Amino acid sequence: MTYLVLIIGFLLLVLIGAAIYAVYQRDLLYAVIATGIISLVLTALFYILQAPDVALTEAAIGVALTTIIFIITIKNTVRFEDESDKNNQQKPKTE
């Protein structure tokens, strides 16, 4: 039972760390990967908290589909949060 408390505490710390990183990171691609990590940790937590149905859903939707759809949007638009360093981007827009 004590191991359970330690594992849950570690996962909760990772959760808060990933959330703060996702908010403060200026490169949106890294922020999206951080939200993927949040979903992954949430999946493990749901499994530990005895909700396997919810864990399956979160694994398929949160980790795969949401991350990919964010990445498609970033590829279609801009990658950085403040667009003043637009020339900083990997691939400059070719008209």
Binding stretches for other proteins (CB under 8 A): 1-2, 4-5, 8-9, 12, 15-16, 19-20, 22-23, 28, 31-32, 35, 38-39, 42, 45-46, 49-58, 60-62, 64-66, 68-78, 81-83
Cβ distance to other proteins smaller for residue 5 or 90: 5
Distance of closest approach, residue 50 Cβ to other proteins, in angstroms = 5
- Minimal CA–CA distance to 64: which of 32, 20, 30, 16? 32
Cβ distance to other proteins smaller for residue 52 or 88: 52
Encoding tokens for residue 10? 């570690």
Is the distance from CB of 30 to CB of 42 less than 8 angstroms? no
Tell me the chain's radius of gyration from C-alpha atoms: 17
Is the distance from CB of 30 to CB of 71 less than 8 angstroms? no
Distance of closest approach, residue 89 Cβ to other proteins, in angstroms = 13
